[in-house]
Structure 1
């Protein structure tokens, strides 16, 4: 299941010509599902030219994404895989994670189509991991359905059913995708789940799937949306046969056969074609089956069908030749099967080398991403912290305090704002010099950092000069007073080299704090002003004290 979509926005930092090209990529995307598919490719190539001129990660990401879907719709496995692999590195750089998730999904579908199921599982799980990280529920549903199909083909029915249920769950969770697309994905997923249930002997559960599919068809009919006749009626025909209703099975098969003529993309319909052939073996005569297989083999060769489908068709045709003692056909199709395996091995050799290269490129991108993230974190930290003391600066204080104030008001909890400064700091600077004054500012800051570390919901910042601010969240007046007194006593351990005019042998601080539950109309500034007024009263009467309300 590929289910292509295009839903990106056009950045306004490109020229009008580039924006028009991006708009064409979006507006003309419908062409890939029509006989005019090849008219879409020039738009993609024009965008790729702009990407090369601009060296834009976003334009490269978009170009490869669009070309990937073009080649997927054209059933060109090799080019679809190449575009997906080349595109992912640009999509990661441009942070277009929906593109990344869908590219991994395409890689899973076409890598499995070329015969490498183990690598396909890895790609699909990578798609699911990205979907989980960025809440891409719709793509998650598609990738999970494709993963379930692989487990079903390899007879791991229990795991297949798990992923079918995951696919249904995440597809239903999506609210952004058009309802018709959601129902289309759910219908296909239900059909494949039904086949898995039938192969597990759970006919009643398979019948329940059919009932759910019929309810989806009613929704599509009510909204006048088309549905996939071949997929649905092939499943209905298979189910009716398993229930012993041969005549109804033939009727449903006839409807599927009429829709078969319109199918050109064998990759998207591989499982349904397999089911159709397996049912035809039970319903058709040997001659009719050989005629049918010959037609399928010719078309499969023309459209470069999936490896496992082409292999299945050839093996079935070889069995027919063997049963009818047709030595000529037996030789012809055996040689064709041998050549198929030979071509497959050569292609897998190339893809293995390409996968190694892509892995190293992605490692480099990841390393660059983490280096850039580290640099940004350092720059952010530098912009938010005071150079001398290492404490949060005033800008950081404002952000934290406003957020805490809002939380306190919303939850009817207290917020305490304390302002403190060093007593006689001007005298200390004048007596010992500014370098020594800076040393005392740093020493006090270390005590404040220790306080923040020791007590939960306590934040300290340098306000300016020798003033510092402490924010207390959801603390009682007694708890705050204890913390303030502990800090004041700890400051007394910071000895001065000589006794200054205040006759104190150590550093002292004065502290003022206002602690309340914010009321409607209060602002953070009101609390700062109250704390500053309390500090002023403390310093006016007697320094080296705490004051609070």
Structure 2
């Protein structure tokens, strides 16, 4: 099996047709596959469609069998001239290959199916292709692209979509919203998914609750997570459903967080036993449950058995290339040595953990590069590369335009303004003391601040034609506004500065404030992009030099202030620093 490209996979895949998972299911069992292969009769179109329904839901479990059967169903469908069925079978293969980490090779296939679905108005295939593209980006930890494709996927569904299919898409959207920090929107989608799952079957209802419990656990809301777990277990018992190993892993994780270590050990051990007794299990669950078991055993003080559990998890990860889980195993190994008071070995293990973590990042970066290159090549092949050009001109973290977009569009905006006698306002916005936020809180918190600031920046050019916000790199942003006077543009930017300073950032940065400094200039008839950016940068430097959290706006030609004549209470917000004392 190829190396797994690590990423935060969805906690529990939604189950498919229960007949498939049950003993004697038509595809899952090897004897059934053998019997099917021995039967000369070609399946009907209805039978192929039904079998694809099952494979689409269960390809994350018995993945080798799912892939082989999908290849065969594609061949049969092509022989029957059933293009839609053949493309569905092709996407089942893509799904399996994504799970194997073969992203670059399947990207062209996904886009080809997507293009065919658009051209032929096939909404089910369009939704499915966007879902799989979201899954590919999930493996690359590119959550902004995941969310983009999940929104497109949901838009492709219609009233004829089966509830179980809608549920799959709704759950993935909830997961994507959760990962991108839209907690309330995510929780609302989980609630919608739970209501829908309750109308289908107990297994799906329990699956939704498991994902919700894990999301609350990751968010640090352990009491809420446990309430969801208790509801999950009650519904399972009432419905006669036996939770699977992934669910027991969630239960154990929440119990560890709450300090219920004996119960956590029991839950994880149950998950391991379930994995060994159940015919169908998700590919990576055993090393994950063993890791959780080791964590619980360490907290119990049972370091000997914790080491055994961890060794077994590590061996599976190394054998199958599960790098994402292996990073966590290495980290836990350092903790385990420390718990045994073997600090020398703990230090050595911690170094190995960091090396593995760097390897993980390298794999992700390489996979992203290969995947994006494959996307570009696929787009060129069908001469419909507009979406790829758009992605290449947007910052993946914030969704704003990037430097490439600026270089391609700003010169034309300046030329048009000069031809009509208008002017373009250019502003460079820089976060004050941003390194302190990264160093004190974390780079993840820094990213959250950047995303929040980006949302505020996007609103500034509203009504400016043309106008846009861009991320130039790091914590520096560019705002371009044409079609409005420099006076109005500066007023908007002063309001932006005051709004950033006034906003409550406590939930993100704690006690650290977030402010911005802004350097502004306006174009003249013969202004160039380089000149304007240099002038805006000089004004930004002046704003920083004068104490930060302020705006410096001057005309490049005359050096005159561009500040509008507005009352001082608009220019000064209560959280802005007072002007420096005379002298």
1:67 is the counterpart of 2:84: no
Give yes or no for contact 1:91–1:97 (8 Å, CA) kept in 2: yes
Matched with 2:365 is 345
Larger Rg: 1
Aligned partner (choices 141, 160, 165) of residue 115 of structure 1: 141
Aligned partner (choices 325, 328, 331) of residue 312 of structure 1: 328
Matched with 1:252 is 267
- Separation in 1, partners of 2:252, 2:290: 13
Matched with 1:377 is none
Gaps of 5+ in 1: 8-15, 174-178, 368-549
Shift of the 139–314 alpha-carbon distance from structure 1 to 2, 3 Å rule, reads: farther
Tell me how many residue pairs correspond in the alignment: 347
- Separation in 1, partners of 2:74, 2:233: 43
Alignment of 1:14-413 (within 5 A): 20=44, 23=47, 26-27=50-51, 38-49=64-75, 57-71=83-97, 83-93=109-119, 95-131=121-157, 135=161, 137-152=163-178, 157-172=183-198, 179-180=200-201, 183-198=202-217, 202=221, 205-221=224-240, 226-242=241-257, 245-261=260-276, 265-266=282-283, 279=296, 282-283=299-300, 285-286=302-303, 288-305=305-322, 308-317=324-333, 320=336, 324-326=343-345, 329-330=349-350, 332-358=352-378, 364=384
User: What RMSD over aligned residues (CA atoms) do the two structures have, in Å?
Assistant: 4.6
Gaps of 5+ in 2: 1-11, 20-39, 388-583
- Separation in 1, partners of 2:61, 2:221: 40
Shift of residue 129, structure 1, vs aligned partner: 1.9
Normalized per residue, the structure richer in helix is 1
- Separation in 2, partners of 1:198, 1:333: 24
Shift of the 110–287 alpha-carbon distance from structure 1 to 2, 3 Å rule, reads: farther
3-state SS of paired residue (1:115) = coil
- Separation in 2, partners of 1:190, 1:272: 18
Give yes or no for contact 1:234–1:252 (8 Å, CA) kept in 2: yes
Give yes or no for contact 2:60–2:283 (8 Å, CA) kept in 1: no
Shift of residue 283, structure 1, vs aligned partner: 3.6
- Separation in 2, partners of 1:107, 1:230: 27
Matched with 1:539 is none
Shift of residue 363, structure 1, vs aligned partner: 8.2
- Separation in 2, partners of 1:151, 1:317: 32
Shift of the 197–47 alpha-carbon distance from structure 1 to 2, 3 Å rule, reads: closer
Give yes or no for contact 2:245–2:272 (8 Å, CA) kept in 1: yes
- Separation in 1, partners of 2:68, 2:258: 50
Give yes or no for contact 2:143–2:176 (8 Å, CA) kept in 1: yes
Shift of residue 325, structure 1, vs aligned partner: 1.9
Shift of residue 64, structure 1, vs aligned partner: 1.1
1:3 is the counterpart of 2:22: no
Shift of residue 349, structure 1, vs aligned partner: 0.5
- Separation in 2, partners of 1:350, 1:17: 42
Q: Which has the higher contact order (CA 8 A, sep 6+)?
A: 2
Shift of the 317–88 alpha-carbon distance from structure 1 to 2, 3 Å rule, reads: farther
Deviations 1:406-444 (A, max 9, x none): xxxxxxxxxxxxxxxxxxxxxxxxxxxxxxxxxxxxxxx
